[in-house]
Amino acid sequence: MRNKTGLGKPGVRTHKNNPHLGDLLLEKLGKRVSTGFDDLEKFELVDCLEKPVLNFSFYGNKRIILDLYDFLDQTPYAFMIRTKKGDDIWGLPERGVRRADVHISRFPKLIKFIRNCENAIPDDLWGLLYGYPLSEIHQFTYDWDEWSKKIRKNPRCK
């Protein structure tokens, strides 16, 4: 059976190479990306260790999901692709469109941790894994009223 998470890769820095992996993924998936578009555009933050884990979602059938797996498997990053049916993307039905969540990191143990503990990870730890500023994580998690007022007042955040 194939390695479900792309573990065991060293995570070589590639941010000096153009185009970077984020651009290649956006080109490959086209308009299928539903969340994480901005993070893919700024993929070099993963290489600079400012964002330990990158997450994005996209829609596709089994062939597209497996094609993305094969593409990511050629990169030096650890990764995980999961649908509502779980990690077994090879067992997906041939027909039908699925939403797939992808996590990519230079840290294989973080991907393994997410795979094993995804439902038990608290919001503040997700914020750390996704590389948000600590003050923003604290406001979002513990001072929700203050944070939501700030978001409503800032037109850039809408």
Residues 114 and 126 in one domain: no
pTM to 2 decimal places = 0.78
**Containing structural domain, residue 150:** 122-158
Residues 136 and 113 in one domain: no
pLDDT attached to residue 111: 94
Between the alpha carbon of residue 122 and those of residues 4, 129, 135, 143, the distances in Å are: 24, 11, 16, 15
pLDDT of 52-87, one tens digit each? Answer: 999 999 999 999 999 999 999 988 899 999 999 888
User: Could you give the number of structural domains in the chain?
Assistant: 2
Q: Residue 151 pLDDT more than 70?
A: no
Q: The tokens of 73 are what?
A: 């498997």
Q: The tokens of 37 are what?
A: 């578009």
Query: What single letter denotes the amino acid at residue 101?
Result: D
Task: Give kind and range of the element (H or E) at residue 112.
Answer: helix 108-117
Residues 30 and 82 in one domain: yes
Residues 30 and 71 in one domain: yes
What confidence tier does 5 reach under pLDDT thresholds 50, 70, 90? very low
3-state helix, strand, coil in the chain (%, to 5): 50, 15, 35
Residues 60 and 90 in one domain: yes
pLDDT of 87-131, one tens digit each? Answer: 888 888 888 889 999 999 999 999 999 999 988 999 889 999 999
DSSP-derived 3-state class of residue 50: coil
pLDDT attached to residue 136: 84
